[in-house]
Amino acid sequence: MPAEAPRLSRSGAAPRRGIVHIGPGAFFRAFNAVFTEEAMAAEGGDWGITAVSLRSATARDQLAPQGGAYTSVTLSEAGNRAQVIGAIAEVLVAPEAPEAVLAAMADPAARIVSLTITEKGYCHSPSTGRLRLDHPDIAHDLVNPAAPRSAIGFIVEALARRRAAGVAPFTVLSCDNLPANGRLARGVTLDFARARDDGLAAWIEAEVPFPATMVDRITPATTEADVAALAEAEGYHDPACVVHEAFRQWVIEDRFAQGRPAWEAAGVQFVRNVEAHETMKLRCLNGTHSTLAYLGYLAGLETIADAAHDPLFSALLQKLWAEEILPTVPPPEGEDLPAYTAALLARYRDRALRHRLWQIAMDGSQKLPQRLLGTIADRRAPGALPRGLCLAVAGWMRYVGGIDETGAPIDVRDPLADRLKAASDAAGSAEGKVAALLAFREIFPKELAEDPTFRAALCDAYRDLADKGARATIRACLAG
């Protein structure tokens, strides 16, 4: 980075608050905030964003000195493009100022509360979709409603304050990669509210919209090299910058309590029901991302592009899409599924996107049900056995054991990491390890876990991965 590069700073006044967003990580900055910036530029409106971090102060510390402005960098092998985004008006750190967060959410000007909190932020059981009332943050928030820790605790307390003050509710907009994310957000919110107050729960059920969404933009973690490259190209220092691919797609059910930005001016698709788009994306993109993450990591690869350019892994992708995934995906209106998967492969192969397999592998216990297990269950229903997807699950089982094919430790990042490793280590055989991991009911639904054909396929795949390695096992899968 040039030593003389000044810090990026906001040009002009910050927009007035209209949205509170929980989870101001890289994806939100590469996606939601960009769409909102462009919508305000096209059609106006007070839709400035108060961004709320539930844990880390990093986003605040990066953005506050810049007045909330930051750079969105589109990566491409043909050349990068930088765009300064000013939609974020302020950043709050919830553990430092829970009352300020609640006040922002209870403010009548806040008409939307949006979420990118990842799967684990919903404090639910992924296999059932129900709120875990025994989750430490949920248990805390039920006893301490004025000082919550979880997104759900903040949402319910803010809605309780609005109801008590006679203020109309906000819309809750989940933007996480979860099937029926609106229904999930509604369900866990109502579960929490019922544990507090039946009257409040009834009001939320009747008055608060929870539209579902489908979000798609590959967003690798920003590196120091990315920050330095931006400084070299643009002449300013921006530690809050984010990098992403050019492609983006946001599909939203058009149900809002008090209006919304003119996101359609920025290319958002508004539909009556987003379920088919969600299923397409979760299974075709996220399912194969997770497959590449675990099997690719075990094979010694580093990025999605590395895997997609590898003939063996490319053949596996083609097999998964054509034979195992697309038969379970109802075509969304206006989408050509074979063309969609062909475009995915081209996106995966863009070497400008250094999307690390290790990053995608994080929190697998929370991701498997919607990315892989649902597809497997749908294929098992008529009696088919999706061996490639079973191999992907076996790859996850090997990965959470914490040792790669060279004997080196794997830095497994997962809320269940310690329990998963202990269960795997306690079993001696492939059959024992598979059985121990299938016993995690928060991951594997009982019916699927007790399916003898599925279990046998996992045992065969796990044994081959352990004995022969990922590459040889994939070759055998493709030959079979």
Residues in Cβ contact with 169 at an 8 Å cutoff, skipping those fewer than 6 apart? 159, 162, 163, 204, 207, 208, 257
Average pLDDT, the chain: 96
Q: Treating both helix axes as pointing N-terminal to C-terminal, what angle do 181-196 and 151-165 enclose, rounded to 10 degrees?
A: 70
67-71 contact pairs (CB < 8 A, 24+): 67/9, 67/10, 67/14, 68/10, 68/14, 69/8, 69/9, 69/10, 69/11, 70/8, 70/29, 70/238, 70/240, 70/241, 70/242, 71/8, 71/230, 71/234, 71/238, 71/240, 71/241, 71/242
How do 81-85 and 70-74 pair as beta strands?
antiparallel
Residue pLDDT, tens place only, 377-431: 999 999 999 999 999 999 999 999 999 999 999 999 999 999 999 999 999 999 9
Q: What whole-number percentage of the chain has pLDDT above 70?
A: 99
Residue pLDDT, tens place only, 345-378: 999 999 999 999 999 999 999 999 999 999 999 9
List the Cα angle 44/47/52 in 5-degree steps: 155
pLDDT of residue 1: 47
The torsion angles phi and psi of 416, rounded to 5 degrees, stand at: -105, 15
pLDDT of residue 2: 52
- Any idea which residue has 């530029």 for tokens? 41
Eight-class DSSP state of 403: B
Residue pLDDT, tens place only, 153-170: 999 999 999 999 999 999
Q: Which helix (H) or strand (E) holds 92?
A: strand 88-93
- pLDDT bucket at 334, cuts 50 / 70 / 90: confident
Residue pLDDT, tens place only, 280-295: 999 999 999 999 999 9
Q: Looking at this protein, which amino acid is placed at residue 240? A: A
Q: Would you list the DSSP string of 299-363? A: TT--BHHHHHHSHHHHHHHHHIIIIIIGGG-PPPTT--HHHHHHHHHHHHT-TT---BHHHHHTT
454-457 contact pairs (CB < 8 A, 24+): 454/376, 454/380, 454/385, 454/390, 457/385, 457/387, 457/390
Q: Check: CB of residue 349 under 8 Å from CB of residue 423.
A: no
Domains recognised in the chain with CATH numbers: 17-271 (3.40.50.720), 275-479 (1.10.1040.10)
CA distances from 15 to 28, 319, 431, 458 (A): 17, 48, 58, 53
Q: How large is the average pLDDT for residues 18-22?
A: 98
What is the phi-psi region of residue 205: left when phi exceeds 0, alpha when psi lies from -120 to 50, beta otherwise? alpha
Residue pLDDT, tens place only, 423-461: 999 999 999 999 999 999 999 999 999 999 999 999 999
- pLDDT bucket at 469, cuts 50 / 70 / 90: very high
pLDDT of residue 78: 85
- Any idea which residue has 């895997």 for tokens? 307
User: Quick one: CA torsion of 160, 166, 168, 172, rounded to 10 degrees?
Assistant: 0
Q: Check: CB of residue 128 under 8 Å from CB of residue 44.
A: no
User: Quick one: CA torsion of 24, 25, 31, 35, rounded to 10 degrees?
Assistant: 20
Tell me how far apart the terminal alpha carbons of the chain are, to the nearest angstrom. Answer: 52
R_g (Cα) of the chain, nearest Å: 22
Q: 185: which 2 tokens? A: 């957000």
333-342 contact pairs (CB < 8 A, 24+): 333/271, 333/276, 335/276, 335/277, 335/280, 337/280, 337/284, 340/280, 340/284, 341/284
pLDDT of residue 3: 57
Reply yes or no on whether the pLDDT at 17 is more than 90: yes
97-105 contact pairs (CB < 8 A, 24+): 98/146, 98/147, 98/148, 98/154, 99/146, 99/147, 101/20, 101/52, 101/154, 102/146, 102/148, 102/154, 102/157, 102/158, 102/161, 104/17, 104/20, 104/50, 104/52, 105/20, 105/154, 105/155, 105/158, 105/170
Q: How large is the average pLDDT for residues 2-7?
A: 78
Q: Would you list the DSSP string of 179-203? A: TTHHHHHHHHHHHHHHHH-HHHHHH
Question: What's the residue count for the chain?
Answer: 480
Task: Give the residue among 69, 48, 36, 16 at the shortest CA–CA distance from 267.
Answer: 36
Residue pLDDT, tens place only, 79-131: 999 999 999 999 999 999 999 999 999 999 999 999 999 999 999 998 889 99
The torsion angles phi and psi of 390, rounded to 5 degrees, stand at: -65, -40
